[in-house]
Amino acid sequence: MRGDSEVMKFWDWPYDSDPSMTVHLVEQMLRDVASDRACYWTMRLRSDRAFVGLCDLSELGANQSADIGIMIGRKFWGQSLAHEAVACILDEARSRGVIVVRARIHRENERSARLLGRAGFTAYRPGSS
């Protein structure tokens, strides 16, 4: 997925043009998990366990806040799988005592904006009241 420019279109970094870039990121993810700064999960279909994508609860800290993230392979887009993942991540956040959950998206990412709106997220723009 990280090598798919369409999947990576709305991320803050370009797609991985070389597998070593993905390896480096996974190593960082493992360090974050070991230090309790993040949780990562694979998403799989119930029917055949096919790999769908990744989701995370990250930026965990003492301030009872965290970020969520979801990355789904293109062939699984439009199947409401992200909606189910968000619900699971929010359940995990509540069980950890997280009070504020953030999700950063690019302004042009309308699908994610709709998904997060359905999940109860509200838009926040720095400098707004």
What is the rounded average pLDDT for all residues in the chain?
89
Percent of the chain with pLDDT over 90: 65
| 10 pLDDT above the threshold of 60 | yes
The amino acid occupying position 20 is S
Neighbouring C-beta atoms of residue 43, cutoff 10 Å: 20
- The pTM (predicted TM-score) of the whole model is 0.81
CB 73 within 8 A of CB 52: yes
Considering its fold, how many domains does the chain have in total?
A: 1
CATH value at residue 25: 3.40.630.30
Between 113 and 124, the higher pLDDT residue:
113
Instruction: With CA atoms as reference, report the closest residue to 41 among 10, 74, 81.
Output: 81
Residue 129 lies in a domain: no
| 33 pLDDT above the threshold of 70 | yes
Residue 14 lies in a domain: no
Identify the domain containing residue 49 by its residue range. 19-118
| 55 pLDDT above the threshold of 90 | yes
Residue 82 lies in a domain: yes
Residue 3 lies in a domain: no
Strands, sheet with 51-58, edge to edge from the N-terminal-most edge strand: 38-44, 51-58, 65-72, 100-102
Residue 31 lies in a domain: yes
